[in-house]
Amino acid sequence: MTRSLDNSTPRTTRKAGNHIAEWFGHRVFPVVAATEASLNDQQSKRCPFLSDLTGELRDCVKPLRSHGVCTISSVSNGPRQDWLVCPIRALDSNLLEDAARRLFGHDASTPINIVAAPVLRDIVRAQEFRQAVISGVPSLVYFHAKLGGEISISPTERSPQFSFDATVVEVRPAPNGSIAVGRYGIFEIQTMDFHGSYSHAVQNLNSALHLHSSDFGPTVYQHPEWLSEKVEGPNISNVFKRTFYQMMFKFHVGSHGQSAGCVFAIPSAVWDSWQRHLGKPDLVGHGDGTFRLAMPDQVHNETPSAWIYVFDLDVSTDVTPNEINLVKIIGTDAEALAHFALEVAPQAALEQGGSVDLLLDSIRGRLSQYLPELKTAPGQTML
């Protein structure tokens, strides 16, 4: 979704720290979108992404302490990057369409019809959808917690319950002239947990909007400290631990015969932060613009059922909300991820002179604060 700017603040380098980057869908750091459209969304507490997907005005669904916060700008990986804190931010129509085409095998030249489930409550839209299906147009419906509800797999005595961020379902013409459900695809979106709270920075933005409505953009640009008050860094290790099992499990679900596959969408910041957890693997170009993350010496799968989509936000004041750009599309599978996370990364830690080799020195240094006689030269074996 794009909107033209009426005016904008100048682009420049801003100081380090963690800042709210997008508020109610529009850029507030390191540059600020200052348009009538962005101000209307912010004053109305509106989510432009839900509104765009449903064709009706929809409010932000986040709690008050984080109301309106889409992304946080942080330098935790070194360079300044955007980290998603709201999965709805990545429900971008272009991103969803690309994932749907890849999973269900429709190339860019084939017209497809993809709609959010709540759109079909409208009798006219539902009938149009039926006619498209019957006439042979590839047609898909997607569900999300805020768009028709999550789709889940039920628990068993030997397996857990899991919900999918978004589920894309194929609807096909039936032999009797009606319609039928075909395969399903899984679309997962990785957000990031941050330490601390956004509540102080959110309150600062609300106050600025109330006091400076006529010059909100330029005023916020002059006070970046308002956007960073008590906003701490991302909880990278915790999120990888929480995500890894889900990703492995859902990649297996995506390989089921009734499934078209699974796409796991993550910002570049998250992919960069995962490199240590995966042993910093080398990706292999596949010749079609995509990459493969595969077991060593494994023949690359031409049509993987599991995909990692790495994306960035195009930081701009010319287009708001900022567009999502796909940076890497990586075909993989659960076995390859397990290999890199559970074999390659631990082996790197266990290499001679690596982090595990230095663990005893670290323990000795900590103990020597209480028992000074234990302090010895680095690398010396304790008797």
pLDDT digits (tens, 9 = 90+) for 257-288: 999 999 999 999 999 999 999 999 999 999 88
Q: Which residues, at least 6 apart from 76, have a Cβ–Cβ distance to it below 8 Å?
A: 18, 83, 233, 234, 236, 269, 273
Instruction: Point out the least confidently predicted range of 13-27, 56-70, 191-205.
Output: 13-27
| CB-count burial class (<10 Å; 0-12, 13-18, 19+) for 68 | buried
User: Which of 327, 310, 325 shows the shortest CA–CA distance to 263?
Assistant: 310
Please report the pLDDT score of residue 200 as a whole number: 95
The tens digit of pLDDT for each residue in 219-230 reads: 999 999 999 999
Return the higher-pLDDT residue of 101 and 6: 101
- Per-residue pLDDT, averaged over 8-24, amounts to 71
Give 300 or 345, the one with higher predicted confidence.
345
Peptide bond preceding 30 in cis form (omega within 30 of 0): yes
Cα–Cα–Cα angle for 130, 136, 140, rounded to 5 degrees: 60
Query: CA of 353: how far to CAs of 276, 322, 340, 348, in Å?
Result: 17, 45, 20, 10
What is the reported pTM?
Answer: 0.88
Chain-wide mean pLDDT for the chain? Answer: 89
Percent of the chain residues past pLDDT 70, beyond the cut: 93
Is 382's pLDDT higher than 80?
no
The pLDDT of residue 317 is 83
> In angstroms, what CA-CA distances link 270 with 133, 166, 282, 306, 328?
37, 19, 17, 18, 13
Distance CA 53, CA 267 (A): 21
Least Cα distance to 187 among 241, 250, 134, 109 occurs for 250
What is the pLDDT at residue 192?
A: 87
Look at residue 261 in the predicted model and tell me its pLDDT.
96
Q: Does the pLDDT at position 8 exceed 70?
A: no
| Residue with tokens 């498209």, as numbered in its chain | 132
Neighbours of 114 (CB within 10 A): 18
pLDDT tens per residue, range 158-184? 999 999 999 999 999 999 889 999 999
Side-chain-side CA neighbours of residue 157 (13 Å):
0
Q: Rounded distance, CA 19 to CA 29, Å?
A: 7
